[in-house]
Every structure is written in C-alpha cells, then in structure tokens.
Amino acid sequence: MNRAKNKEKNILDGSGLKIGIVVSLFNDDITMKMLDGALSCLAENKVKKENIKIVFAPGAFEIPLFCQKLAKTKKYDALVALGCVIKGDTDHYYYIAGEASRGVMEVGLKYDIPIGFGIITVNNLKQASERAGAENNKGREATIATLMSIKTFQK
C-alpha cells in the first residue's frame, strides 16, 4: 500500500487536535528535515501551531520516555516519534533500534494513544537523507499514519 507515500492532504480537519512530536537530536541533520515534513503535513490538515508541542530527546533510545511523559498528561490526541538510527560497525544499532521501537509501541498501547512511528533505521547516511527528503519524507509519512489513525478512531 503506497497511500502513505503519496502527498495526501486534508486527511481530516485537525483544527481541534493537539499533537505532540518527539524528535531525536542525534542525527539532527536528518531528523529536522523529518520534523519539517511532519509540520507541513499537520499544517495541511489545519492543525494549529499552538496545538503542536515539539520536544527534543537526546537520541532514539530516549524517544519512548519522552513519548510517555507527553502521553501521561492526557493533553494530546496523538503523538509522532521521529528519529534516525544509522548502522555502524557494532551491534549497538540493533539494540537502539529494537528498544526504541518496542518502547514507542508500549507507550501507545499503555496510554491508548496513536503514535506515528517515524524512527528510521538505515545502513548509511545516504539512505537516511533519501528518507528525509521532499519526495520520501518519513516524518511526513509517520504524521499521515497518525492522522489516519485519529480519523479511524473518530468514526
């Protein structure tokens, strides 16, 4: 299914929504582009700037804790988790990617809140750049998934 890959706009009227975004500062040259994609998607769906909370986590491993802190407040209709884990020469990549994924899922299930999963796991910087570009922005795609989840739950 390539629906999330396209340039879907107006998934829903998000003017009353409150969205939290957690962004990893590690690999910020990538994650800031993903954040731009997420914010542009929210704007296209009429989510007001003042209803968007952006928090910065040190790295992907810390994203679940930051998501949990936002979810616990019960102020947000949904969250978006954005990060970038690039494979290196050791197994560290597998632990970080796996625990970040598991942690985000656990927060969503525990607090019954949709979380758009935009933590990319790639082999190199070139792949990361491709996934943060204008044509294939995973921050945008994670936000589309979040908005689609909200729309489904509203029905």
Residue 12 lies in a domain: no
User: What's the CA gap between 149 and 140, in Å, rounded?
Assistant: 14
Find all residues with CB under 8 Å of 38, minimum gap 6, and list them: 21, 80, 82, 116, 118, 139, 140, 142, 143
Residue 97 lies in a domain: yes
Residue 4 lies in a domain: no
Comparing 52-56, 73-77, 142-146, 151-155, which segment has the lowest mean pLDDT? 151-155
Average pLDDT over residues 43-58: 96
Residue 85 lies in a domain: yes
pLDDT number for residue 5: 45
* 92 tagged catalytic: yes
Residue 3 lies in a domain: no
pTM for this prediction: 0.91
Average pLDDT over residues 53-57: 98
* Domains contained in the chain, number: 1
pLDDT number for residue 8: 60
Examine the pLDDT at 89 and tell me if it is beyond 90: no
pLDDT tens digit sequence for 119-149: 999 999 999 999 998 889 999 999 999 999 9
Find all residues with CB under 8 Å of 98, minimum gap 6, and list them: none
Domain that holds residue 92: 24-149
Choosing from 3, 9, 92, 110, the catalytic residue is 92
